[in-house]
Amino acid sequence: MDLRALIRTIPDYPKPGILFRDITTLLADSRGFGETIARLAARYAGAGIAKVAAIEARGFILGGALAERLGAGFVPIRKRGKLPAMAIGHDYELEYGTDRVEMHVDAVGRGERTLLVDDLIATGGTALAGATLVERVGGVVHEACFVIDLPELGGRMRLEARGIPVFTLMAFEGH
């Protein structure tokens, strides 16, 4: 099945010159969504994944389904102020300023093999922040996986330079 054909490209969103890669069309296709989760689950079957940590918001859709398929726990990595219990946070750089993601302090146990999931990897800032949170509580980031890589933005290289393996189902040129 050609999953790439199920990705919608929206030009000039959220600003002129950007080609936004929209996975909602992939998610809306039951066969495509199922195949996406099946391909990711096949890669991690038998890898001893204890937790799937997914980044808000589209990462939650993928991460929840993948965690269930792998028999792992699900860990939400959220924007600032959205978690009800004690949380830790990490600030990361955006094009103009900074943002923050947070995770409950008890979401990942010491030494737990954790898979980091999001819909796409662009500059890698959010993924690196998520990985930092997992590591700060003693978890081990097994790999970071994404449906889409935007290689021109360098996120994959940033994660790999930090020692975090990266897996993607497809790549799109441009940004």
Which residue out of 58, 78, 102, 156 is catalytically annotated?
58
Closest CA to 139 of 169, 102, 113: 113
b/e for 43-57, b at 16 or more Cβ within 10 A? ebeeeebbbbbbbbe
Task: Look up 95 and say whether it is catalytic.
Answer: yes
User: Under 8 Å CB-to-CB from 5, ≥6 apart: which residues?
Assistant: none
Q: Please say whether the beta carbons of 76 and 54 come within 8 A.
A: yes
Residue showing tokens 């929206």: 10
3-state secondary structure of 115: strand
Task: Look up 58 and say whether it is catalytic.
Answer: yes
Closest CA to 101 of 91, 111, 87, 109: 91
- Eight-class DSSP state of 5: G
Q: In angstroms, rounded to a whole number, what is the distance separating the alpha carbons of residues 166 and 153?
A: 15
Which residue out of 4, 8, 95, 143 is catalytically annotated?
95
Residues tagged active-site: 58, 95
